[in-house]
Amino acid sequence: MSNKEVTIHDIAEILGINSSTVSRALNNSTRVAKKTKDKVFEKAAELGYQRNHLASNLRKSKTFTLGVIVPRISRHFFSSAIAGIEETAFKAGYTVIICQSLESLEREESIINTLLSNRVDGVLVSISMETKNYDHLQGLKQRNIPFVFFDRHCDIANNSKVVIDDFEAAFNAVEHLIAQKSKNIAHFSGPQNLEIYKNRFKGYKAALEKHHILYREELVISSSLMEKDGATNVKKMLALPYKVDGLFCANDVVAISAIQYLKKLHIKIPEDIAIVGFSNESISSVIEPALTTVNQSGLEIGVASTNLLLDKISDKSKQQTHKTILVKTNLIVRKSSLRDSK
Amino acid sequence: MSNKEVTIHDIAEILGINSSTVSRALNNSTRVAKKTKDKVFEKAAELGYQRNHLASNLRKSKTFTLGVIVPRISRHFFSSAIAGIEETAFKAGYTVIICQSLESLEREESIINTLLSNRVDGVLVSISMETKNYDHLQGLKQRNIPFVFFDRHCDIANNSKVVIDDFEAAFNAVEHLIAQKSKNIAHFSGPQNLEIYKNRFKGYKAALEKHHILYREELVISSSLMEKDGATNVKKMLALPYKVDGLFCANDVVAISAIQYLKKLHIKIPEDIAIVGFSNESISSVIEPALTTVNQSGLEIGVASTNLLLDKISDKSKQQTHKTILVKTNLIVRKSSLRDSK
DNA sequence: TATTAAAATACAATCGATTGTATTTTAATA
DNA sequence: TATTAAAATACAATCGATTGTATTTTAATA
Q: What is the DSSP letter of B25?
A: H
Q: What is the DSSP letter of A131?
A: -
Are B54 and A51 within 8 A, CB to CB? Answer: no
B124 strand-pairing partners: B68, B148
Contact B261/B300 with Cβ under 8 angstroms?
A: no
Contact B78/B120 with Cβ under 8 angstroms?
A: no
Classified as helix, coil or strand, A178 is helix
Of A54, A82, A97, nearest to B119 by CB-CB distance is A54
Contact B216/B183 with Cβ under 8 angstroms?
A: no
Q: Model's pTM, two decimal places?
A: 0.83
Contact B70/B84 with Cβ under 8 angstroms?
A: no
CA distance B166 to chain A (A): 23
Q: Which residues of B touch A57 (CB under 8 A)?
A: 54
What CA–CA distance (Å, rounded) separates A17 from B32?
A: 43
Residue B136 Rama label (left phi>0; alpha psi -120 to 50; beta)? alpha
CA distance B265 to chain A (A): 26
E strands of A56-182, at which residues?
65-70, 95-100, 122-125, 147-150, 160-164
Q: Show the domains of chain A with their CATH numbers.
A: 8-51 (no CATH), 63-163+298-327 (3.40.50.2300), 166-296+331-337 (3.40.50.2300)
pLDDT, position B157: 75
Q: Could you report the average pLDDT of every consecutive run of 10 residues in chain A (342 residues)?
A: 77 96 96 96 96 96 96 92 97 96 95 95 94 86 92 85 95 97 97 91 98 97 94 97 97 93 95 96 78 95 97 75 91 93 48
Q: Which residues of B touch A58 (CB under 8 A)?
A: 52, 54-55, 58
What CA–CA distance (Å, rounded) separates B241 from B256?
A: 24
Query: Can the peptide bond before residue B270 be classed as cis, meaning omega within 30 degrees of 0?
Result: yes
Alpha carbon A275 to chain centroid, angstroms: 25
Top residue of A64, A68, A86 to mutate, by most chain B CBs within 10 Å, is: A86
Of A58, A72, A90, nearest to B99 by CB-CB distance is A90
**Whole-Å CA distances, B318 to A116, B146, B322, B324:** 34, 12, 10, 16
Identity of the amino acid at A262: L
Q: Which residues of A touch B4 (CB under 8 A)?
A: none
Q: Which residues of A touch B283 (CB under 8 A)?
A: 282
Give pLDDT tens digits for B175-194. Answer: 999 999 999 999 999 998 88
User: Pairing mode, if any, of strands B220-222 and B246-249?
Assistant: unpaired
pLDDT, position A132: 83
Query: Can the peptide bond before residue B289 be classed as cis, meaning omega within 30 degrees of 0?
Result: yes
Edge-to-edge order in the sheet of strand B185-189: B220-222, B185-189, B246-249, B274-276
Task: State the sign of the Cα–Cα–Cα–Cα dihedral A307, A308, A314, A315.
Answer: positive
Bases in strand D with any atom closer than 7 Å to a protein CB: 7-20
CA distance B56 to chain A (A): 9
Q: Which residues of A touch B286 (CB under 8 A)?
A: 282, 285-286
Q: Which nucleotide is nearest to A59 (CA to C1')?
A: D15
Q: Is the CB of B192 under 7 A from strand D?
A: no
What CA–CA distance (Å, rounded) separates A137 from A126?
A: 11
Which of A292, A296, A249, A257 lies closest to A75, judged by CA? A296
pLDDT, position A2: 41
Q: Could you report the average pLDDT of every consecutive run of 10 residues in chain B (342 residues)?
A: 77 96 96 96 96 96 96 92 97 96 95 95 94 86 92 85 95 97 97 91 98 97 94 97 96 93 95 96 78 95 97 76 91 93 46
pLDDT, position A342: 45
**Whole-Å CA distances, B115 to B122, B129, B180:** 9, 20, 48
pLDDT, position A104: 94
Which of B332, B214, B195 lies closest to B277, judged by CA? B332
Top residue of A5, A6, A27, A50 to mutate, by most chain B CBs within 10 Å, is: A50
Top residue of B72, B98, B108, B280 to mutate, by most chain A CBs within 10 Å, is: B98
Alpha carbon B236 to chain centroid, angstroms: 31
Q: Is the CB of A21 under 7 A from strand D?
A: yes
What CA–CA distance (Å, rounded) separates A312 from A111?
A: 21
- Long-range CB contacts for residues A258-261, cutoff 8 Å, separation at least 24: A258/A188, A258/A230, A258/A231, A258/A233, A258/A234, A259/A230, A259/A287, A259/A289, A259/A291, A259/A336, A260/A230, A260/A287, A261/A230, A261/A231, A261/A234
